Amino acid sequence: MTRNRISLLLAAGLWLAAVPAAWAIDQVHVVPKEGSKDKELITGRIRSLSPDEVVIEQRGVGVPVAVNEIRFIQFEDEPRELGDARRRMRDGDYREALDILERIQADDVKRPEAKTEVQYTVMYCRGQLALGGGLAAADGKNPLVETGKELIKFLTDNPRTYHFYEANELVGNLLVANGNYSPAAAYYAAMKQAKWADYKLRATVAMGRALLAQGRTPDAAKAFDEAISDPDPGELAEAQKQLAKIGKARCQASSGRPDDAVKAIQEIIANADSANSDLNAQAYNALGAALRIAKKPKEAVLAFLHTDLLYYKSPDTHAEALANLAALFDELHKPKHAQGVRETLKRQYGASRWAQQAR
């Protein structure tokens, strides 16, 4: 190798070492579209983040990516633990994800975007655990209230976060879980300002559930009907319509039409993707609730067991299934089964409203 070539290589090495962190290679993982050949991974440098879109720079050109199409963003210099925690989150193991995140030292994360991502991911895991009653109270404080406050502060401090709509939805869900229905409506309304049909529908479905939790069944049915009748044909919107149909079936059961509800839910289950844990958990819990109203406890047990054994990723729906199983086993004169389920419910979701009801 000539001296000139060595000099060129050394110069190139020094130039690369001097490239600022702003030119880091980031990865935007997008939701794969059915039948699409588009890439599921977009690489480049994050130029800007906002509630509606993320702009990633490729060869000097900014490529906008709609937030509702993003699964997650992996920043080039983020801590390894953040990636590990995301994988745990996708499996519904929020406790393990939180334990991993707590190993991250704040001083080790230099890039502001990565710091914000760690902060939000911690709060998201805490929020999901709080919803299911799996987050222990600190100093006697209500985890639902405290986690909600943390998220509200996050939104105030980061108004341009690409987690804006998701965070508003989670705040609303925490408020509803704590019985604070009126303030929850404002956060669902903020989410409904998104420009995509699936996010608008998510907000409408969430409001329907809140109304149903208040016993306002006719109003809840109207909200679910609004979502079901939405004309958007998109795949993401269709997923929300299926959840709205489950909510409508719960309204039917609560209004004295459990047989109609059972029929509607069974049709949803028959056409559901078995990999969609959230949809199936919601459906089987609604089926179990309708069967209980129809005075069919044995069939209801089988429905709730589907959630318990197969679709247990969501703490809240799993806790709901366990609470119902405990009550049903009492009805069926199986005290040992009931006690075993109650112990599981107390151990995993002891602070949940479901655990309080199952005592």
- pLDDT, one tens digit per residue, over 155-188 is 999 999 999 999 999 999 999 999 999 999 999 9
On whether both 52 and 105 belong to a single domain, the answer is no
Tell me which residues of the chain have a pLDDT lower than 70. Answer: 1-24, 34-39, 138, 358-359
On whether both 281 and 354 belong to a single domain, the answer is yes
**16 within domain boundaries:** no
Could you give the CA distance from residue 174 to residue 170 in angstroms, rounded to a whole number?
6
pLDDT at 34: 64
pLDDT at 295: 97
pLDDT at 327: 97
**102 within domain boundaries:** yes
**64 within domain boundaries:** yes
Q: Is the distance from CB of 210 to CB of 188 less than 8 angstroms?
A: yes
- For the chain, the domain total comes to 3
On whether both 135 and 68 belong to a single domain, the answer is no
Q: List the domain range (segments joined by +) for residue 125.
A: 79-191
- Which residues have C-beta within 8 Å of that of residue 48, sequence separation ≥ 6? 54, 55, 62
On whether both 69 and 87 belong to a single domain, the answer is no
pLDDT at 82: 96
pLDDT at 20: 41
pLDDT at 14: 38
Q: Is the distance from CB of 326 to CB of 338 less than 8 angstroms?
A: yes
The phi and psi torsions of 86 (rounded to 5 degrees) equal: -60, -40
On whether both 183 and 280 belong to a single domain, the answer is no
Determine whether 301 is exposed, middle or buried from the number of CB atoms within 10 Å of its CB (0-12, 13-18, 19+): buried
pLDDT at 39: 65
pLDDT at 19: 39
pTM: 0.87
Give the count of alpha carbons within 13 A of 231, CB side only. 0
